[in-house]
Chains A and B, each alone.
Chain A
Amino acid sequence: MPQVLENLIHKMEIPVTIGLFITPGNLSEKYPDNLGLSNPDHRAPEYDALNDNYARFLVEEILPEVGKKYRLTDDPENRVIGGTSSGAICAWTVAWERPDQFRKVISMIGSYVSIGYQRAHEGHPMMLGGDMYPTLIRRHPPKPIRIFL
């Protein structure tokens, strides 16, 4: 990804863009060194859930942190979010929940399936899975999001 950004910025096909590449969370004090390229253990609850937790994590926590060091635009048209597989549905969910923050999505082999579905159980309401997006999208007024699928 950084290489692609570098080339496309040089060709002026995209604006000068800061890239932020984030791993899913891992339930530990320190990120395990032996994980390498594989998945940390908190990926599914963050990426596959149809709620605004990940969007809030980005908007309220990590972007302000990066923003202390680099000047980032607050124009949602110039903020893109992307991912692959569960990372892709996660990216879409962020834009879906917060189109005021992100209006462009890169979605590669997105997991628009019911991984995040959970039945209602004591004290917890039902959680929708990504298979519900066709219906959710149809039922809402259009949102100003562009997605590359």
Chain B
Amino acid sequence: MAQTILAASSRVTISTFRFIPASDLSFRYEGRLDRAMADEFIRRLRQQVCMQRFLEMGPLAEARAQNFRPRSATSEKCADLFVPFALFVAQPWLIRATPFYLMKMVSLILGALLIGAASLSAVDAVGPQSKPNDYPLTADSLPQPGVPQGRLEGPLEFHRRIFAGTVRRYWIFVPAQYRAEKSAAVCVFQDGQRATHPGGHSACRRCWKT
């Protein structure tokens, strides 16, 4: 993912996306870049890189010290080299003087058109079939003739120590094909009271909180 730095005609703005390795930064610059803007540009980039390091290292180091993996020397270097590099590439005379600039503009426009076309076709593909709150069950969710029926045990109640003071219910689904000699695969599913409901979650939309 790229971080885009957009320069309006009067000032440099940086759209932020917090958790990106500095080495993944890329930018686009349009318009004139004078000395004051260049200074602002550098200031904000430095702020950005510092903020990013702070966000990535501070809370994580605190919370997960034992699993924490420090930044590699390479990515440190990328971050430090990025500011001079960005400034170098952002020189308008340099950008305009090279065929690279033209190629970049053409590829930007083509890219935008492609993305637009793709999103339009995606909307077309989904649009007519899907209505709000309309989630029809498919064959796999409905009883099928000839399929041996398993059994659902429960609700059973469960008290233990990890979540002290709580009680919960659970159900065990035992497929007809289960044999005690052979260990079975396991599927654990949360919100068991709804997951075992034959109408599925869509049957109890009103009970949703989070």
Contact = CB atoms under 8 A, between A and B. Distances in A.
Interface of A: 1-10, 14-31, 35-40, 42-48, 53, 56-58, 60-63, 65-66, 69-74, 78-88, 90-91, 94, 102, 106, 111, 115, 125-126, 128, 132, 134-136, 138-141
B185 A2 contact: no
Nearest to B140: A7
B59 interface: yes
Interface residues of B, number: 72
A16 B207 contact: no
A17 B169 contact: no
B101 interface: no
Interface of B: 19, 21, 55-56, 59-60, 62-64, 67-69, 139-144, 146-150, 152, 154-155, 157-158, 160-163, 165-198, 201, 204, 207-210
Contact of A42 (B147, B149, B163, B169): B163
Of B19, B162, B201, chain A has the most CB atoms within 10 Å of the CB of: B162
Contacts of A31: 155, 157, 167-169
B191 A84 contact: yes
A7 B140 CA distance: 6
Given A23-B168, A23-B169, 12 more contacts: A2-B152, A6-B176, A10-B144, A18-B173, A20-B186, A22-B189, A31-B167, A58-B188, A61-B160, A71-B184, A138-B21, A139-B60
